[in-house]
């Protein structure tokens, strides 16, 4: 019975991956056909030595957890407290503000066993200057209380979305 259940789960995962791949290929084709000259495309920001960056981040995330017994806390609060802290400390780059560029920056980071933020990584950006500011603000964070799993301090992963709006 257990083997049948595992087989069904694997089959569903396979079919789900296939359908998403088919949808993304179809979407790319539609996008190419309907693209207009007015569509803006911003260049992707990449560090000079991308492989060193990837190797470093992979080792940071290797032994970190998402689900723990006690979540890491920021100044007595949760991730929402940290998000408020980040939004208060953001400095919207003037040159970008003048161009009207705005959006949401998605960042992933780890709180280590000492409470420091390490391995911050841009998941989805808006513009290199805005992305850099979001990373700066997250990396300058004060210490957190580390997460615990079975009464031992562990590294915990977090995702945060930082909003840059002109309002």
Quickly state the pLDDT bin for 12 (edges 50, 70, 90).
low
Contact 75, 85 (CB under 8 A): yes
3-state secondary structure 110-122: EECCCCCEEEEEE
Residue with tokens 């840059």: 164
Contact 98, 92 (CB under 8 A): no
Contact 70, 156 (CB under 8 A): no
**What share of the chain in percent tops pLDDT 70?**
63
Higher pLDDT, 27 or 113: 113
Return all residues near 64 (Cβ < 8 A) that are at least 6 apart.
Answer: 110, 154, 155, 156, 157
DSSP 70: B
> Could you state, in order of their start, the residue ranges of all structural domains in the chain?
1-36, 50-164
CATH superfamily of 50-164: TonB (3.30.2420.10)
Q: Look at residue 63 in the predicted model and tell me its pLDDT.
A: 76
Quickly state the pLDDT bin for 72 (edges 50, 70, 90).
very high
How far is the C-alpha of 167 from the C-alpha of 151, rounded, in Å? Answer: 44
Quickly state the pLDDT bin for 34 (edges 50, 70, 90).
very low
* Selection from 3-7, 59-63, 94-98, 126-130 with the highest mean pLDDT: 126-130
Q: Look at residue 4 in the predicted model and tell me its pLDDT.
A: 67
pLDDT for 73 beyond 80: yes
Tally Cβ neighbours within 10 Å of residue 135. Answer: 18
How far is the C-alpha of 104 from the C-alpha of 116, rounded, in Å? Answer: 24
């Amino acid at each position: 019975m257990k083997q049948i259940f595992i087989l069904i789960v694997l089959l569903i995962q396979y079919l789900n991956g296939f359908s998403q791949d088919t949808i993304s290929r179809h979407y790319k084709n539609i996008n190419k056909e309907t693209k207009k000259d007015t569509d803006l495309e911003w260049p992707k920001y990449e560090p000079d030595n991308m492989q060193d960056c990837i190797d470093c981040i992979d080792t940071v995330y290797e032994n970190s957890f998402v689900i723990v017994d006690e979540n890491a806390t920021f100044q007595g609060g949760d991730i929402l407290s940290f998000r408020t802290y980040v939004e208060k400390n953001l400095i919207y780059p003037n040159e970008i503000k003048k161009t009207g560029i705005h959006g949401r920056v998605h960042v992933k980071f780890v709180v280590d066993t000492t409470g420091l933020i390490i391995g911050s990584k841009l998941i989805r950006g808006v513009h290199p200057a805005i992305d850099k500011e979001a990373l700066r603000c997250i990396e300058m964070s004060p210490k957190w209380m580390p997460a615990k799993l079975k009464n031992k301090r562990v590294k915990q992963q977090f995702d945060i979305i930082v909003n840059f709006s002109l309002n």
